Amino acid sequence: MNIARTLTLGLCLLHGAAAVAVPGAPADAPDPALIDRLARTLADEVNHSDHFDAQVWLIASEQKLTRWVRGDGERMDILRNVYREANRQRIDADLVLAVMHVESAFDRFAVSSAGAQGLMQVMPFWRLEIGRPQDNLTDVQTNIRYGTAILAHYLGVSRGDLVDALARYNGSRGKLNYPERVVLSFRRTWQTRLTAELPQLRAGCTAYGLNACEPIPR
């Protein structure tokens, strides 16, 4: 365990954060594969997004996000970064919005009692683990890049099990409360594709019998 990691854990213990479930926080030592993914993601500036698909998604999502983010510039900044980073990590952009909705209600300055920061509530120790202590987790692009990389990693570890990946992201594996909230947010507000096009969601609903998967009254 490096010195920076030791200091970070010490501060968490002093503030009583050790017993609090936080997004992306490892139970023991950080997963080297996740550290590697974060490092590569933060160093990669390549954008492979399709322009037309991006515009269609932005128009549909921008209207929904107005309820939480009033400023046009900030709203579009969030959406552009969500679309780009979700595509970079090959995860559903609507799922990222649902995670943000549950984690921070789209407040980029949100800080949890355990110290998690920003839109996707990323723990600051990840910056130290990949040698980027200067990164500002209240910055829209930075926070989304970290958060999507962490979520994509847990989807890989969970072999596509969406419910398990969400619980891992939240630090509450084995419990369904957090996945229920994210899936409900996704289905009620953010979903733009047909459920038939989302095999991970269908499989999770079947395997876990989530209440959030029940038909939503119209």
Q: Which residues of 52-64 are buried (b: 16+ CB within 10 A; e: fewer)?
A: eebeebbeebeee
Cα distances (Å, whole numbers) of residue 111 to 20, 120, 152, 203: 13, 10, 22, 33
The one-letter code for the residue type at 99 is V
Catalytic-residue membership of 103: yes
Distance CA 167, CA 173 (A): 5
Distance CA 69, CA 65 (A): 6
Both tokens of 117, joined, read 């920061």
Question: One of 103, 129, 197, 214 is an active-site residue; which one?
Answer: 103
Strand partners, 117: 111, 122
Chain centroid offset of residue 185 CA: 13
Distance CA 48, CA 190 (A): 23
Q: Which sequence positions are flagged as catalytic? A: 103
